[in-house]
Structure 1
């Protein structure tokens, strides 16, 4: 890039730091195109590149779009971000909003900037079946990028914070959606990274748009009480300052600080109290030099004011998962009202404000970009999110797990060796066991808490010492799902149960495939090269693994059949046959026993080939449009019975009674809108599982005609549903959605035999 191309834009006001950077760059001679850019050069060229690309683009507020990247870069600079981070702040939208590629960014600015920009780029250029799936994929991609470089999420948080600051210009529905996502995902992420200043502002801005009336009311109440509050805090601060000086404790700062508005609102809701009943609207913060002085200052506070029992927390000895450290105590102040006091060192205060940005910790690689060490205990929560990437296929379940893992309501317990384990509130020994290791959880036979035997559903409390007793022949129980709290534990229990039913899943997969392909030559086909190739194309090592996945529902029957056809076509020519013939005919075209005759299409009958004849759909297999079908001339003058190709009731029917038929796909036919289908679902028995399944069906406008649930103590439950389906494609679509649910173990189509072909 030519130095002379750098100019000061006239359409926006640049911050002073950027103006100074540009002036310094313009006065220099520039840098060689072959040499890495210096920090100031990198920042200036990134700004200039982004400015030229976003020229002519405007935000909803009407201001030039470049104002947003400039603001994001400024936030990153305030956090102490590197030149690469600031450059990524300028460039974070160019891949999404312009024709620039990631490769071009790497060529101009290096691999480090490219990885940061790619990590925060949304998946707007990909197609997903729902907003939920799109959102889940966005977060999956973002967390994977975070594992490469934790700074990715810091850039993303800066991007979200500025968007929240300018949210007022968007339509109300979009404002609420973005605000809710901010509260549920991004504010907890900021908290997990310890970036307090981002967390508080994100929460308050989300509060402003999600509960506008409550926001205005609390803001007014805080403003009205400000003078009295500041006077009261000043008196307390003066008293403490004098006593600290007498003991020679150096105090960098002692002052009152108001709590952010959403924190006040949340406490009011949680404790069901009015604003006047919340005593810690503000707190005194004491900043000293050393850890030892923190505890000495605590003694001064407790000597000057009466402490309230049970309200002391030592986050220095036991830091929060985001590395927050401080001493918290609540005392009775000068006015007789409770007052919170926080004591920390200057370094602790910096970490509380800036979090991970206060002490970037990286492993340098040959590519000179920062990579997260996932062994670092600070990022246990991120490792768990990464583990769920493959385990939780369902988008909604994945999002719920993400939200549950991000919120900072943890309980801290100890292993017998003294290691600290952070778990969600309400966690039990089962959650603890699976946090230690999957095999510890799978072989858990009992637990001791503080050297006493307890039941596995006992909630753990802060400071508990937990010991898990294992036995080789022990295994998970379905009952554990009723009291396990953490998503990781629940998922591992389900995964064990699925694996333990492998033989049944293989058998079910064989039945599904055999029903479509026919029995003739099926065993040979399973051992053939095309079947092995099909398994590998579906990412399984063997046909047996593929059958197990098919039986459980990890892959659909249509996918397996399509891959199998492709594998066979790659090995030998296939004789062309009508679409209406069975899959078995596609695999063995030269030996099909079914006569193929041209038939006239009717615009009034849903079945082609039975014009003028009495016919009915067979209740034994309930065929639906889109499936291959065959007609059977019934005994006793009841006309033609329409069966699915491969129906077991047609296997022994003489060839002269078989009639080639097909579905009428001509527009304007008078076929019914829906067809009855019976399905059977084996599920892990829990409260609400039927409701969840019915909700999925409702989302796809599927009518449920009947529902029956059979439960067995200590075992799985069986749900039989009668549903109305438009065609086979819709049936496969809803089967795929139900199979994605983690509680669903098996799903199959069943028959109600109300007519025999030979009857």
Structure 2
């Protein structure tokens, strides 16, 4: 454990202006407050915050961050309060300690809630001050180093799983690769002990048999570059057991099939030397196609810069080589913390611009589980690079689509997307992007996000934005339908309903806005009888049966509402505009629209029935036909010609039976209304290719 004077000397070594008295006071304060408390290892508890403070000095963080590390457990585990911290150490340190304390408290929550809430608190705290995350990562790293002392296997597993799922990826996301690797290595040992032991044993065996091979390869690389006049530092290492295990799992290969176990790092004096050295290596040894990545010209979002390549050394051994300048190496080693520059206005530097997207996800997510899904997508996936037509660079997860790209540019652009071009060619919106693609988004002023996009988008920001837009549209349309139902209900009460009566009704129903009541009616969260009683108390007292007050005098129009949002067209009868329709209303579900002659209705349904009408204008619907065609060449072409002449789009075509000389199909068609569908049936029945045609 660091002694008091050692910690102060560390800070003064890189920050001569640090307040020595304040650092001493924070050290003494944490020792006094934690007193005789012990860790699971038996060490004094205050040894933990002192060691975390030491980690902050390794990162060369400012005085407030070091003091926060010293004090980060005092509010949670002692009688100290945030007010005490503020009075003794100032508002900035108190704010940082409060942020770390809130994160720590989340870890005491039930497991199903903790992960999501942890991420939510992380994102909000990081948006205010990235030092909160840096201290928390140091706290978690030291806890992982002492995880063996926790007696409960379940608790060790939980902490290790949380570390590898949340903390290690966040460390990677801000470029703190050393923290990430150590966290992964420590967590892997507890989560997969057998795999860890097996891979470690194999690596030990390779190390025993290599006879200095790693050093020999490093020397060969250094000599080849020295002959070209490039002075470099070369180091070699084995890949981490966790990295090897993950590669085995992803590629579905055995340990023996992993060929690039050794990795070498080449440090140069300049960027130009990096590219010169790369050329020398590629001409000296065979380069493996597809394994070169240039993170110097296109850095990762976390600021990581390096050249990566893979070579075949002496005809058989594959080795990975990373080339970077010494300055890049310093930055890559500890990421954002390596070039800590805290601005006067309190905003974290440009390295963490990706936090803005995560904060949007916090705002858009509907519940903790949805937040967890979206934020994990945003934080944990491998990246590709794509360009706008003007040359702006965007980093996206592998598998990202033009819709993901549009939302990455701006939420409004994503919402207005109607089409896309990749490298000048029109493509479907679900097309996966590749590295270096130039993406042009085609937008429409009246466009809006589609629920179907959730089937292919991969970024958390896109998924959160789409779901939020769909929820808002759904709520608006359900409220619109509820407003129509409210007007119809109001006509059935024995009094004139004005604004005063509506305000009184809202108060009785414990609601604040009329829109809230409209939504409750549309979503069947409140019955007609309850609304009538709220409007005119006692008006249903003499009603003997529900039917007397449920009966409605006129049909409710669904004109302007969107199928799949406020209502669903039933699959059993496929109603189209022009059909006589009724709606079945279930609590917290979309209204289910059926044809009046649907067999489902004839069999009896226990739900609230609505008399519906299409309205004068409609958006069309899907009609289903059952066709029997003669089983001979050309009949499908004849049928397709009929569809084309009648301006009908085929949604789906399924062969249901082959009964020579006939073939039976179910066909879903986009039609305008009942008259359009009827004309289609008449044209099909008149064709020599069609033996029978009927509506399902």
User: Which residue in the other structure is 2:178 paired with?
Assistant: 197
Q: How has the CA–CA distance of structure 1 residues 325 and 395 changed in structure 2, closer, same or farther, with 3 Å as cutoff?
A: same
User: Which residue in the other structure is 1:752 paired with?
Assistant: 606
Q: How has the CA–CA distance of structure 1 residues 531 and 343 changed in structure 2, closer, same or farther, with 3 Å as cutoff?
A: same
What RMSD over aligned residues (CA atoms) do the two structures have, in Å? Answer: 4.1
Determine helix, strand or coil for the equivalent of 1:122: helix
User: Which residue in the other structure is 2:6 paired with?
Assistant: 20
Which among 471, 474, 481 is matched to residue 507 of structure 1?
481
Q: Deviations over 1:569-601 (max 9, x none)?
A: xxxxxxxxxxxx97987898xx6479xxxxxxx
User: Which residue in the other structure is 1:404 paired with?
Assistant: 377
> How far off its partner does 1:500 sit?
3.5
Q: Which moved more, 1:391-400 or 1:460-469?
A: 391-400
- The answer to whether 1:333 aligns with 2:282 is no
User: Which residue in the other structure is 2:411 paired with?
Assistant: 438
> How far off its partner does 1:533 sit?
13
- The answer to whether 1:372 aligns with 2:348 is yes
What's the TM-score once normalised by structure 2's chain length?
A: 0.73
8 Å CA contact 1:506–1:551 kept in 2: the answer is: no
Residues of 2 paired with 1:552 and 1:278: CA distance? Answer: 59
Residues of 1 paired with 2:394 and 2:337: CA distance? Answer: 24
Residues of 1 paired with 2:361 and 2:342: CA distance? Answer: 24
Q: Deviations over 1:677-704 (max 9, x none)?
A: xxxxx9969xxxxxxxxxxxxxxxxxxx
8 Å CA contact 1:709–1:719 kept in 2: the answer is: no
Residues of 1 paired with 2:210 and 2:402: CA distance? Answer: 44
Q: How has the CA–CA distance of structure 1 residues 249 and 709 changed in structure 2, closer, same or farther, with 3 Å as cutoff?
A: same
- The answer to whether 1:82 aligns with 2:62 is yes
> How far off its partner does 1:98 sit?
2.2
Residues of 1 paired with 2:503 and 2:608: CA distance? Answer: 38
Q: Deviations over 1:249-271 (max 9, x none)?
A: 222x2110222221111001111
User: Which residue in the other structure is 2:212 paired with?
Assistant: 231
Query: Within 5 Å, which residues of 2 pair with 1:621-660?
Result: 649=548
Determine helix, strand or coil for the equivalent of 1:219: helix
Determine helix, strand or coil for the equivalent of 1:364: coil
User: Which residue in the other structure is 2:389 paired with?
Assistant: 416
Residues of 2 paired with 1:53 and 1:557: CA distance? Answer: 55
Determine helix, strand or coil for the equivalent of 1:249: coil
Q: Deviations over 1:200-246 (max 9, x none)?
A: 01111111111111011111111221144472222222222223223
User: Which residue in the other structure is 2:643 paired with?
Assistant: none
Determine helix, strand or coil for the equivalent of 2:362: helix
- The answer to whether 1:120 aligns with 2:100 is yes
Determine helix, strand or coil for the equivalent of 1:371: coil
User: Which residue in the other structure is 2:90 paired with?
Assistant: 110
Determine helix, strand or coil for the equivalent of 1:412: strand
Which among 292, 295, 306 is matched to residue 286 of structure 2?
306
Q: Which moved more, 1:174-183 or 1:55-64?
A: 55-64
Residues of 2 paired with 1:393 and 1:552: CA distance? Answer: 20
8 Å CA contact 1:506–1:544 kept in 2: the answer is: no
Residues of 2 paired with 1:98 and 1:719: CA distance? Answer: 61
User: Which residue in the other structure is 1:603 paired with?
Assistant: none
Which among 479, 491, 498 is matched to residue 471 of structure 2?
498
User: Which residue in the other structure is 1:607 paired with?
Assistant: none
- The answer to whether 1:255 aligns with 2:235 is yes
User: Which residue in the other structure is 2:75 paired with?
Assistant: 95
8 Å CA contact 1:325–1:348 kept in 2: the answer is: yes
Residues of 2 paired with 1:173 and 1:363: CA distance? Answer: 42
- The answer to whether 1:452 aligns with 2:425 is yes
8 Å CA contact 1:236–1:334 kept in 2: the answer is: no
Residues of 2 paired with 1:122 and 1:683: CA distance? Answer: 44
Q: How has the CA–CA distance of structure 1 residues 24 and 59 changed in structure 2, closer, same or farther, with 3 Å as cutoff?
A: closer
- The answer to whether 1:71 aligns with 2:51 is yes
User: Which residue in the other structure is 1:273 paired with?
Assistant: 253
8 Å CA contact 1:136–1:398 kept in 2: the answer is: yes
> How far off its partner does 1:363 sit?
2.0
8 Å CA contact 1:85–1:155 kept in 2: the answer is: yes
Q: How has the CA–CA distance of structure 1 residues 512 and 321 changed in structure 2, closer, same or farther, with 3 Å as cutoff?
A: farther
> How far off its partner does 1:445 sit?
2.2
- The answer to whether 1:139 aligns with 2:122 is no
Determine helix, strand or coil for the equivalent of 2:454: helix
Q: Which moved more, 1:487-496 or 1:157-166?
A: 487-496
What's the TM-score once normalised by structure 1's chain length?
A: 0.67
Determine helix, strand or coil for the equivalent of 2:354: helix
> How far off its partner does 1:484 sit?
1.7
User: Which residue in the other structure is 1:462 paired with?
Assistant: 435
Determine helix, strand or coil for the equivalent of 1:460: coil
Q: How has the CA–CA distance of structure 1 residues 469 and 52 changed in structure 2, closer, same or farther, with 3 Å as cutoff?
A: same
Return 5+ residue gaps in structure 1 as ranges: 1-13, 26-36, 559-580, 595-629, 635-646, 653-681, 686-707, 723-734
- The answer to whether 1:222 aligns with 2:203 is yes
Residues of 2 paired with 1:496 and 1:322: CA distance? Answer: 29
Q: How has the CA–CA distance of structure 1 residues 510 and 94 changed in structure 2, closer, same or farther, with 3 Å as cutoff?
A: farther
8 Å CA contact 1:191–1:408 kept in 2: the answer is: no
Residues of 1 paired with 2:573 and 2:203: CA distance? Answer: 55
Q: How has the CA–CA distance of structure 1 residues 753 and 431 changed in structure 2, closer, same or farther, with 3 Å as cutoff?
A: closer
Q: Deviations over 1:280-314 (max 9, x none)?
A: 21211110110001111112212321212222111
Q: How has the CA–CA distance of structure 1 residues 439 and 24 changed in structure 2, closer, same or farther, with 3 Å as cutoff?
A: closer
8 Å CA contact 1:288–1:343 kept in 2: the answer is: yes
Residues of 2 paired with 1:72 and 1:462: CA distance? Answer: 39
User: Which residue in the other structure is 2:221 paired with?
Assistant: 240
Return 5+ residue gaps in structure 2 as ranges: 12-16, 552-561, 577-581, 593-603, 610-696
Which among 323, 336, 343 is matched to residue 363 of structure 1?
343
Residues of 2 paired with 1:66 and 1:424: CA distance? Answer: 41
Residues of 2 paired with 1:411 and 1:278: CA distance? Answer: 24
Q: How has the CA–CA distance of structure 1 residues 532 and 141 changed in structure 2, closer, same or farther, with 3 Å as cutoff?
A: farther
Determine helix, strand or coil for the equivalent of 2:102: coil
Residues of 2 paired with 1:343 and 1:632: CA distance? Answer: 84
8 Å CA contact 1:683–1:746 kept in 2: the answer is: no
User: Which residue in the other structure is 1:698 paired with?
Assistant: none
Q: How has the CA–CA distance of structure 1 residues 754 and 328 changed in structure 2, closer, same or farther, with 3 Å as cutoff?
A: closer
User: Which residue in the other structure is 1:524 paired with?
Assistant: 499
- The answer to whether 1:175 aligns with 2:128 is no
Which among 459, 466, 487 is matched to residue 486 of structure 1?
459
Residues of 1 paired with 2:508 and 2:269: CA distance? Answer: 67
8 Å CA contact 1:332–1:339 kept in 2: the answer is: yes
Q: Deviations over 1:495-533 (max 9, x none)?
A: 3333444143243378699999x9567653575399599
> How far off its partner does 1:557 sit?
7.4
Q: How has the CA–CA distance of structure 1 residues 534 and 719 changed in structure 2, closer, same or farther, with 3 Å as cutoff?
A: closer
8 Å CA contact 1:510–1:547 kept in 2: the answer is: no
> How far off its partner does 1:79 sit?
1.5
User: Which residue in the other structure is 1:187 paired with?
Assistant: 168
Q: Which moved more, 1:309-318 or 1:487-496?
A: 487-496
